[in-house]
Structure 1
Amino acid sequence: MDLSNGETSELTFAAFYADCEHAIKPITQGSRVCLTYNLLQRGTGKKNKPITAPLYDSEADRAEEILEQTFQKSGAPAKLAWLLEHHYSPAGLSFSGLKGRDAALAKVVRHAARRAGCALHLGIVHIEESGAAEPYFDMDYGCAPTRGRYYDDEDNDDDMVEDAEGGDDEFEVVEVFDSSRHIDQWIDTNDQAVEFGSLPIEEGEILPAAGLDGEVPDQQRLTEASGNEGASFERSYHRAALVIWPQDRFVDVLLQAGPAAALPYFKDRVKALNSLPAPAADRRTVHSIAERIIAVWEATRNGDYRRRDKESDRSDMIALLGQLADAPLLERFIAGVVTREYDGSENQAMATNVRGLVGPIRAGQLLSHLAIENMRFFPTACVNLLWRLTRELGLESTADWIAASREIGAAIVRALPDLKQRKPDRPDRDWWRIQKAKPVDDTTVANLLETLATLNASTLRDAACKSMTANPKVFNPATLIVPVLQLLRERNGDAVLSDKEFQRLWAHSAEFLLARSEQPPQSPKDWRQDVKIVCRCDDCRELQAFALDPATQTHRFRVRKERRQHLHQQIDHHRLDMTQLTERTGSPQTLVCSKTRATYERQCRQYNEDLASMAALHPLLGETEGEVQRLRARMDAARQRCAPGLIAGDRRQRRSNFCGEKTIIGFEGEGLPLDFCCIRQAENRDCREDMLLPAVNSLWLACAAYTRMRDDDVERRKGN
């Protein structure tokens, strides 16, 4: 409708009801005035009584009868979704905001549902289809212009709106290959959002049956034919609907979307049951709901639903079963669901509710089996569960509960030797769950040792320490055991000094560090890299000769692409310290390999880290006799050995202007390490002495200023 008018003395206007679909184009010139008002119609009788909306009593009675008959039939649908006429956004969807006939329909269905014992909600129905299509051709323009474009009836672009109105006129649907239907964005009769998730729609559950015939899709795309594939289409509809189902099937309908969708409803029922004295029939009903939820949970696995269960869902279910005080169902849920899907988020809920509902014998069986099944990927979580359980028991621990806790601890300790450092990429269909597993840390080990000590399980502590010392890849003495010992000393003070297991772990860490870093790494004297390449092709023989050459640092391989790839694979497979760059000039191109000091630099970093670990380990045990004292003396010697000597590394590397070689020297002055570049005259005969001495003196002065060494100490070091 064009309301533009060139005559300034005239006013062009349009009037329409507010619930009519309309769109107003942007005003480019002039002004737009909108007048909004209410129309009231009064009767003509003497009382002048205003006309009110109809009550629809007879319609509600008829709707009640239809609902009862429909849901009582054999093979009746689980739910019904009646599509509304108007378009509503998810944010604006509410019973109070329905318009025209939609509001009247909702009023009738609301009364009928209450009488028929049905639940009523609003939701957004999503229907998505794709398949083969046959485009219509225009004699003047060829194929339909809508090909390969998206259409949205909310788009403000004029051409897009016109194309969308064309609907299926631009192509003919040959066959629907894929179709999906679901409902979400739930609103209850109090206009409150409800977290039911995405419920699938089965065949025959949408009414009217032909409600979308002739309707323009909200989104539509036609893709032209290419190669051997014909034209295809994609389209989707998004419509608001009244969704209704019997109250006695409430949980069954929600379980179509998975167990998590039924938890809010189950939570409300448990809360209502515990708030007031409830009849035995209501209690049996709630227990039946819990059984159905657990049965569906047992029969499926996480990830089988459109909305994957949240981490807290299992914890919520455990807490609800605890509030319901149903020990058999709690045991069943832990054994059948939690053990299979465990990731540690359930620990607090299990520790709290198992103590109150499940007896110690059964608790020991359940949780020890859980630990056996999950220690491989969740050792930290399993130890945390035992730690939380002992904290929940506290001073109330009886002999039976101590025995149950020891049973769980034994399952954990038996699994320690089989722990591996790396997790598989995709061990099974639950790979996404296993990605949440945390590596063993110092808190986990300290909690395990302290918990076993609390349980007086000395045999288990001894076995745990033996497993840790035998598996240094997982229980690394430098990066894990030393922090564990520090944490135990911090928590327990001098009491740990007489602990046999503490002393064993201390000695194990000291021996490990000394075996690896008692002597500083030796700087390589040339560029030789010892390697034996199995492949005997010409390129690999040339590569091996280059690796063994002590004088050559760079070599060029001018070979074809597949041969360059072969060389890349051999270098990576044998872990040669070489950079690999391709000069993309000429044909064939050239692979330039340059030797590096990567292995030596790694050794230096590890050496410096081990010295720091020795420094942290040394004071954890006081002055003692025997083997401990000898280990302390060796660590002292190892730490002192590095102070005046060379410690090669890779921090703050600088290239010398004289010899062109990187050499890092570390000194300890007042406890602060200092790395700087030293020029070695012996390794570069081209450097003149009169150039070297001023540079060396400058470096020494910078070193002295940085570390605030005493003047006499500087002179002593210069003399050395």
Structure 2
Amino acid sequence: MVKPAARDRLAAVLTREFGEPPFAVVEQADPALLDVEVDGAGRLKYPVTAAQARKLCALGTPARYGRGERTLTDASVRDTWEVPRTAVHLSWSPLFDKVLDRMRKGLGLPGSARLRAELHSLLVYEPGQFFLPHQDSEKHDAMVGTLAVTLPSRHSGGELVITQGGRSETCSGSASRLALCAFYADCRHEVRPVKSGYRIAVTFNLLLDGGAPQASGADTVNEAARLLGTHFATPSSAYSWGKASPPKRLVYLLDHEYTERGLSWNRLKGADADRAALLRTAAEQAGCQVMLAGTKIKETWDTYPEDSDYEDWDDEGWEDGEDDDRDSDGDGDGDGDGDGDGDGDGDHELNDLIERTTTLSCWVDPETGKRESISLEVGEDEVCSRTSTADFEPYEQQYEGYMGNYGNTLDRWYRRAAVVVFPDSLAFANRAEAAPAWAMRQVAERARSGNVAGARADAASLEPFWTATVSPDLRGGVFGPALKAAHAVDDPTVAAMLLAPFRSEDLLAKHAAPLSRLAKRYGGAWLGRILGTWCAGSQGEVYGYTSESRDWYSALPVLCTSLTASGRDGTAASRALLQAAWQRLAATAAPRLASPPSRRAAGLEDLGAPLAAVIAAAANMAATTTGDVIAAHLAGLGDEALPWLLSGLRSFSTVHSDSTVHGEAPGDRLSADVAADCGRRLTRRLARPARAANDWSITLPEGCSCPLCEVLADFLADPTLRIREWPLAKENRRHVHSRIEAAELPVDHQTRREGRPYTLILAKKDTLFSGERAQRAEDEADLRWILAVWPSAAVASTSAT
């Protein structure tokens, strides 16, 4: 028999010590406990009469309910009258404090805590009215539950039913007694339809004041501490393809839900408080630290619809399944959740759990008490609990039917609180993995305090997971602190590791100063390698270029200028940055230059601003060598590059106009060279004679040279032929179609489906003439603009003729 893992044995100890957690307390009390007076209806007499109840209904409005961030009115979900709170006046008997204290004990809350009741609403249910199963929102940071007080009246039905984890409590009204029910806010509850008479209820938010309980029982604490030590010393075999290593943390899931606002050691519910207190004491004894966290859990289940022909399998073989009643909320949609969206698991039968992911989404800083948003996925070998997550109600779920290769599947999302434990030696690594920006600030702060060696050691401990932790969506917030931390550790190897996850897209003009400091500390060659790696990125990033990833080019001139001004090392780094930025831009432009004409111009014009930034950076640095490389590369491109070059020049003259004087760019040979090259290209194109009115010749771009393409090329080149009828088999027609469409030639190609083989009809379009006229006018305008801004380009243009 395999011995349970230490984490599961620890969960069993916590269950043994504190048993089944309470979730609701139901009792009856003397009506003298609560006196109620309502403006417009007077003082309520017990039992409340039908006449007085009708007055309350007349004062009320249809009660609303919350769904997500919306507040809705829907009588199919909640059908009851709510009396304005300002019209309700209450007076409690002095005995009420004792009642609240009994409820505190019944709910398992610490003896050091105190419950307060805050009025929420006065509700009246007339015959037929109800409230489907739902969960209360925590309306106050200190709110832990709800108190519902049903006033004495002669009615039937209208039972308040509270459920959690498969258990339920029912609170029924009375004609002579107050019916009180206190329950935790994360419990699902419903009000069954009233059959006769009127149900009148006053509801309160239960607020908790006071501290967390203290752990008791030295033997139990010692046992828990030993199990924690075993957990952190035992290599995990959860992932057989990797080297087994001990877990870095233990995540104990609590039995109640908590909002991020309400996540506090002092407001844990029921047995959660006792278990957390025991874990905290045991962790301290075992040399560990503890965090209170919120988690998001996603489970993916293999399912099949309820009405499918699948049968249930048991140990004896196949047997007929039975229908079960899943429409517990009576709304007819079968989901049992009362929200009427029909997306509950009641529409599907859960089969096998395919996958579960647990992510820490926030935790409470033990030093400041503040909640921090984090994102850290934890392994299954690090998680344990008393109650299975499947016993909870998901806050969201989504079904996906059979898709051919997978399905049917049901995704379910849950929120649970957790106590997170980790050894003191791994405290910094755990917090860094969850909050990398915090880690970088801590490293820099520790170095500033004089402990550079300690800061360096903390930073070095991050190496095994650092690159994976700083995901693309986190880089922007971590980059600035990482630059400071890299400088603070005073070690080129550790600093390079800290900066490895980043990319050139993270660069902004404000980063010029910290980059200059890094150049001075570690040298220009070191920083140049870092910058080159950032610019190169992955192959997918280069060719997955988007408008978002080009923004960093705008900071390039400032970055290069600032680095150059910082001295020799900064100059070396700036040249490496410029060279890497240009190489990346050229690689990005290459597939666009080869794209079809209809997409080419727009794609290349989008790269104009980055090209202008590269030109400006080269000019500001007087980087003649790199400038010559760029100019030579651009000059070697075909005329298909003109939209890119012209867009770059226009952006340069607009965005970087400070460097131009009277249309010239002193000291900027690169922009002048690019302008001259464009002038030559445009002049050559304009020097060609305009197409004659009867010239229908078209040049087929180079490519395939098969016999079909030779015939096609001859037809296109003939200045007199406009139409050709060409009997061709299907595959041959398809090949001709593809050549015409790929080159986007002004040729219509249709198939006449008569005879065998069918006939392909090619017809040259009039757009051959209108398109060339429009292009010629555009070339003339572009040339005039270039000569106005770069007069020196006129010499090159003259030589081109």
The TM-score normalised by the length of structure 1 is 0.62
2:98: which partner in 1? none
Tell me the SS of whatever aligns to 1:238: strand
The letter of the residue matching 1:616 is W
C-alpha change, 1:286 and 1:200, in structure 2 (3 Å) is: same
2:229: which partner in 1? 71
Q: Say whether the 8 Å CA contact 1:291–1:329 is kept in structure 2.
A: no
1:469: which partner in 2? 635
Q: Aligned partners of 1:319 and 1:192: how far apart in 2?
A: 26
Q: Say whether the 8 Å CA contact 2:697–2:719 is kept in structure 1.
A: yes
Q: Say whether the 8 Å CA contact 1:318–1:330 is kept in structure 2.
A: no
Provide the alpha-carbon RMSD of the alignment. 5.7
- 1:250 maps to which of 407, 414, 427: 427
Structure 1 stretch displaced more, 73-82 or 133-142:
133-142
C-alpha change, 1:345 and 1:243, in structure 2 (3 Å) is: same
Post-superposition offset of 1:514: 0.5
Alignment of 1:10 with 2:154, yes or no, is: yes
C-alpha change, 1:185 and 1:522, in structure 2 (3 Å) is: same
Query: After superposition, where does 1:489-500 map in structure 2 within 5 Å?
Result: 491-493=659-661, 496=665
Q: Aligned partners of 2:188 and 2:763: how far apart in 1?
A: 73
Instruction: Write the deviation string for residues 42-89 of structure 1: whole angstroms up to 9, x where unpaired.
Output: xxxxxxxxx999944415884476236513552154322333333456
Structure 2 unmatched runs, 5+: 1-25, 27-124, 129-151, 157-172, 174-178, 235-245, 305-309, 595-603
C-alpha change, 1:106 and 1:151, in structure 2 (3 Å) is: farther
Q: Aligned partners of 2:555 and 2:274: how far apart in 1?
A: 56
1:696: which partner in 2? none
Tell me the SS of whatever aligns to 2:361: strand
Alignment of 1:607 with 2:772, yes or no, is: no
Q: Aligned partners of 1:159 and 1:458: how far apart in 2?
A: 68
1:362: which partner in 2? 523
Q: Say whether the 8 Å CA contact 1:79–1:245 is kept in structure 2.
A: yes
Q: Say whether the 8 Å CA contact 1:315–1:345 is kept in structure 2.
A: yes
Q: Say whether the 8 Å CA contact 2:447–2:489 is kept in structure 1.
A: no
C-alpha change, 1:565 and 1:184, in structure 2 (3 Å) is: farther
2:252: which partner in 1? 82
Q: Aligned partners of 2:210 and 2:626: how far apart in 1?
A: 81
Q: Say whether the 8 Å CA contact 1:83–1:207 is kept in structure 2.
A: yes
C-alpha change, 1:409 and 1:29, in structure 2 (3 Å) is: same
- 1:183 maps to which of 359, 367, 373: 359
1:337: which partner in 2? 500
C-alpha change, 1:547 and 1:460, in structure 2 (3 Å) is: closer
1:121: which partner in 2? 292
Q: Say whether the 8 Å CA contact 1:351–1:392 is kept in structure 2.
A: yes
1:206: which partner in 2? 384
C-alpha change, 1:88 and 1:424, in structure 2 (3 Å) is: farther
The letter of the residue matching 1:249 is L
Q: Aligned partners of 1:510 and 1:39: how far apart in 2?
A: 79
Q: Aligned partners of 2:339 and 2:720: how far apart in 1?
A: 73
Q: Say whether the 8 Å CA contact 1:128–1:179 is kept in structure 2.
A: yes
Post-superposition offset of 1:615: 1.4
Alignment of 1:135 with 2:296, yes or no, is: no
Post-superposition offset of 1:405: 4.5
C-alpha change, 1:102 and 1:406, in structure 2 (3 Å) is: closer
Alignment of 1:452 with 2:621, yes or no, is: yes
C-alpha change, 1:39 and 1:409, in structure 2 (3 Å) is: closer
Post-superposition offset of 1:610: 1.7
Tell me the SS of whatever aligns to 1:321: helix
2:5: which partner in 1? none
Post-superposition offset of 1:367: 1.0
Instruction: Write the deviation string for residues 623-657 of structure 1: whole angstroms up to 9, x where unpaired.
Output: x9xx956846999xxxxxxxxxxxxxxxxxxxxxx
2:80: which partner in 1? none
- 2:747 maps to which of 558, 574, 578: 578
- 1:288 maps to which of 457, 475, 478: 457
Post-superposition offset of 1:566: 4.8
- 1:316 maps to which of 477, 480, 485: 480
Q: Say whether the 8 Å CA contact 2:524–2:571 is kept in structure 1.
A: no
The TM-score normalised by the length of structure 2 is 0.56
C-alpha change, 1:59 and 1:142, in structure 2 (3 Å) is: closer
C-alpha change, 1:86 and 1:363, in structure 2 (3 Å) is: same
The letter of the residue matching 2:373 is E
Tell me the SS of whatever aligns to 2:357: strand
Post-superposition offset of 1:289: 2.5
Q: Say whether the 8 Å CA contact 1:60–1:111 is kept in structure 2.
A: no
C-alpha change, 1:466 and 1:30, in structure 2 (3 Å) is: farther
Q: Aligned partners of 1:357 and 1:493: how far apart in 2?
A: 35
Q: Say whether the 8 Å CA contact 1:220–1:234 is kept in structure 2.
A: yes
Instruction: Write the deviation string for residues 366-395 of structure 1: whole angstroms up to 9, x where unpaired.
Output: 315743884695997897676334433576
1:662: which partner in 2? none
Tell me the SS of whatever aligns to 2:375: coil
Q: Say whether the 8 Å CA contact 1:489–1:620 is kept in structure 2.
A: no
1:273: which partner in 2? 446
Q: Say whether the 8 Å CA contact 1:325–1:357 is kept in structure 2.
A: no
Post-superposition offset of 1:127: 4.8
Post-superposition offset of 1:535: 5.7
- 1:388 maps to which of 558, 564, 570: 558
C-alpha change, 1:23 and 1:192, in structure 2 (3 Å) is: farther
The letter of the residue matching 1:16 is C
The letter of the residue matching 1:469 is A
State the aligned residue count: 579
- 1:263 maps to which of 419, 422, 436: 436
C-alpha change, 1:474 and 1:333, in structure 2 (3 Å) is: farther
Alignment of 1:480 with 2:648, yes or no, is: yes
C-alpha change, 1:352 and 1:583, in structure 2 (3 Å) is: farther
Q: Between the two structures, name the one with larger relative contact order (CA 8 Å, sep ≥ 6).
A: 2
Q: Say whether the 8 Å CA contact 2:401–2:407 is kept in structure 1.
A: yes
Structure ranking higher in helix proportion? 1
The letter of the residue matching 2:512 is A
Q: Say whether the 8 Å CA contact 1:262–1:293 is kept in structure 2.
A: no
Instruction: Write the deviation string for residues 670-701 of structure 1: whole angstroms up to 9, x where unpaired.
Output: xxxxxxxxxxxxxxxxxxxxxxxxxxxxxxxx
Tell me the SS of whatever aligns to 1:359: helix
Instruction: Write the deviation string for residues 336-387 of structure 1: whole angstroms up to 9, x where unpaired.
Output: 715xx52332355763224224437722343157438846959978976763
The letter of the residue matching 2:764 is K
Post-superposition offset of 1:294: 3.8
Q: Say whether the 8 Å CA contact 1:119–1:244 is kept in structure 2.
A: yes
Post-superposition offset of 1:202: 2.4
Structure 1 unmatched runs, 5+: 41-50, 426-434, 636-720
Q: Aligned partners of 1:573 and 1:25: how far apart in 2?
A: 68
Q: Say whether the 8 Å CA contact 2:512–2:558 is kept in structure 1.
A: yes
Query: After superposition, where does 1:382-531 map in structure 2 within 5 Å?
Result: 387-393=557-563, 397-399=566-568, 401-402=570-571, 405=574, 420-422=589-591, 441=610, 443-453=612-622, 457-458=623-624, 461-471=627-637, 477-481=645-649, 484=652, 491-493=659-661, 496=665, 504-519=673-688, 521-525=690-694, 527=696, 529=698
1:642: which partner in 2? none
Tell me the SS of whatever aligns to 2:506: coil
The letter of the residue matching 2:482 is I
Q: Aligned partners of 2:492 and 2:480: how far apart in 1?
A: 17
Post-superposition offset of 1:515: 0.5
Q: Aligned partners of 1:215 and 1:420: how far apart in 2?
A: 53
Instruction: Write the deviation string for residues 371-427 of structure 1: whole angstroms up to 9, x where unpaired.
Output: 3884695997897676334433576x44565466556667778999888532699xx
The letter of the residue matching 1:194 is E
